[in-house]
């Protein structure tokens, strides 16, 4: 067993850190404060070849592995969780289903420009009445001539306002339950596709999240992804990989909270000494570092399973569960350690605290993670 990262992994981490210092850190606070999508930085990420890291070069990807991708999400999120998340949704939720289930023609037409960073992707599963119970979706896709007509609405769709293509899930046969859901490739600008209200979020404010509506939205047959009725399986398999991405995002947020806390513990003087000399603070730092290292091991292990072609559904759920709860707990501790200043807008730990919470919710709540883990153990 070798816990060392390879030279390739070390280089990509160093590269992203340098990128973040130069471009992401300087605008992270403004991105959050103004809820401003970091469009220039997303373009720069594409120039670095980081919008299709784990996909083959023949489809415009970097031909690297999932661990490299997880490291990139971790490092970006350490600087700006909204930027890390935008890349995560694009890579895990939009590119993966096209890569895994797309025909050669669909890959050339959609995956290639996505991986090259010529456009961003989104994933539309959740509905106002179908969150955790994804199979309760009511958006319909009715066969009509040589295509389908979509009607319904989706909510909390990240990247939707800036996406060139959205992978959409809709009911083709309600009587079949999970086997009645199909996946569709819906390009931006398709008549009847309406991008609704941009939602004003508590955290990851620079990432764009919106409602998506379908009003008699006609999709050609060739945009059916996978077979009819395969949509639920496609969504679940896509989310398995996405959960590794969210674990990496949570890890980056928690690491940033630790970095800030270590720095502040050495600088802040009370009772004539830096607060890091007090045992109460030392124990907080020790607990943070231990939780974060455990999150990192779970996350990298899940990514390694993916890269080895081993099952990774349970591993991804464990990584997301632990890393997201660590991010929430340890950003809370980081504010406590900072005292009053940690509660003031403009302090990095205040932003991290708000950014952390969503990692326990999206791409499957902590409760769903426990269902997936126990389901794997008890079946």
Question: Quick one: tokens of 370?
Answer: 């426990």
Which of 5, 188, 371, 373: binder of ligand COS (CB under 6 A)? Answer: 371
Which of 211, 240, 291, 325: binder of ligand COS (CB under 6 A)? Answer: 240
- Among this protein's residues, is 104 annotated catalytic? no
Return the exposure string of 244-264: e unless at least 16 CB atoms fall within 10 Å of the residue's CB, then b.
Answer: bbbbbbbbbbbbbbbebbbeb
Q: How far is the CB of 232 from ligand COS (least distance, A)?
A: 5
Which of 67-75, 220-228, 236-244, 336-344 is the region at the interface with ligand COS (rule: CB under 6 A)?
236-244
Question: Quick one: tokens of 158?
Answer: 């990240």
70 near 244, Cβ under 8 Å?
yes
Which of 75, 127, 325, 363 does the annotation list as catalytic?
A: 363
Site pattern 81..120 for ligand COS (x: CB under 6 A): ----------------------------------------
Which of positions 308-327 make contact with ligand COS (CB under 6 A)? 313
- Determine, following the binding rule CB under 6 A, whether residue 237 of this chain makes contact with ligand COS: yes
Using DSSP's 3-state secondary structure scheme, residue 214 falls into strand
Q: Which C-beta is closer to ligand COS: that of 199 or that of 237?
A: 237
Binning the chain into helix, strand and coil, the percentages to the nearest 5 are: 60, 15, 25
E strand or H helix at 308: helix 279-308
- Determine, following the binding rule CB under 6 A, whether residue 135 of this chain makes contact with ligand COS: yes
Which of 236, 262, 289, 294: binder of ligand COS (CB under 6 A)? Answer: 236
Hey, how many other C-beta atoms are within 10 angstroms of the C-beta on 236?
15
Q: Which DSSP state fits 69?
A: H
- Determine, following the binding rule CB under 6 A, whether residue 125 of this chain makes contact with ligand COS: yes
Which whole-number Å values give the CA distances from 281 to 12, 254, 272, 284, 286, in the listed order?
33, 17, 15, 5, 9
Q: Which C-beta is closer to ligand COS: that of 101 or that of 232?
A: 232
Q: How far is the CB of 126 from ligand COS (least distance, A)?
A: 5
Q: How far is the CB of 239 from ligand COS (least distance, A)?
A: 5
Which of positions 151-190 make contact with ligand COS (CB under 6 A)? 178
Burial label for 225, CB within 10 Å (0-12, 13-18, 19+), is: buried
> Site residues (CB under 6 A) for ligand COS?
125-126, 132, 134-135, 178, 232-233, 236-237, 239-240, 313, 362-364, 368, 371-372
């Amino acid at each position: 067993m070798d816990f060392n990262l390879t030279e390739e992994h070390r280089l990509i981490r160093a590269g992203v850190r340098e990128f973040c210092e130069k471009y992401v850190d300087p605008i992270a606070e403004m991105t959050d404060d103004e809820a401003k999508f970091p469009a220039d930085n997303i373009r720069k990420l594409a120039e670095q070849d980081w919008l299709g890291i784990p996909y083959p070069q023949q489809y415009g990807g970097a031909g690297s592995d999932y661990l490299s991708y997880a490291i990139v999400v971790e490092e970006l999120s350490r600087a700006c969780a909204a930027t890390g998340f935008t890349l995560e949704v694009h890579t895990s939720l939009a590119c993966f289903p096209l890569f895994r289930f797309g025909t050669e023609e669909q890959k050339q037409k959609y995956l290639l420009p996505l991986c090259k960073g010529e456009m961003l992707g989104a994933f539309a599963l959740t509905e106002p009445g179908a969150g955790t119970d994804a199979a309760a979706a009511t958006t319909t896709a009715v066969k009509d001539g040589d295509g389908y007509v979509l009607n319904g609405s989706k909510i909390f769709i990240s990247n939707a306002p800036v996406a060139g293509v959205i992978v959409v899930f809709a009911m083709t046969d309600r009587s079949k339950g999970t086997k009645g859901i199909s996946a569709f490739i819906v390009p931006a600008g398709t008549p009847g596709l309406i991008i609704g209200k941009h939602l004003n979020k508590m955290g990851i404010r620079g990432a764009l999240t919106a409602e998506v509506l379908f009003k008699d939205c006609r999709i050609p047959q060739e945009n059916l992804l996978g077979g009819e009725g395969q949509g639920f399986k496609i969504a679940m398999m896509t989310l398995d990989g996405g959960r590794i991405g969210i674990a990496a995002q949570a890890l980056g947020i928690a690491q940033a909270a630790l970095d800030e806390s270590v720095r502040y513990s050495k600088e802040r003087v009370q009772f004539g000494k830096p607060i890091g000399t007090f045992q109460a603070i030392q124990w907080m730092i020790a607990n943070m570092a231990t939780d974060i290292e455990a999150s990192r091991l779970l996350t990298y292990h899940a990514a390694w399973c993916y890269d080895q072609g081993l099952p990774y559904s349970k591993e991804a759920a464990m990584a997301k569960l632990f890393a997201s709860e660590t991010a929430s707990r340890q950003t809370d501790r980081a504010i406590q350690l900072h005292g009053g200043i940690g509660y003031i807008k403009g302090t990095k730990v205040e932003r991290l605290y708000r950014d952390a919470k969503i990692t326990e919710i999206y791409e499957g709540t902590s409760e769903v993670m426990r269902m997936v883990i126990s389901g794997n153990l008890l079946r």
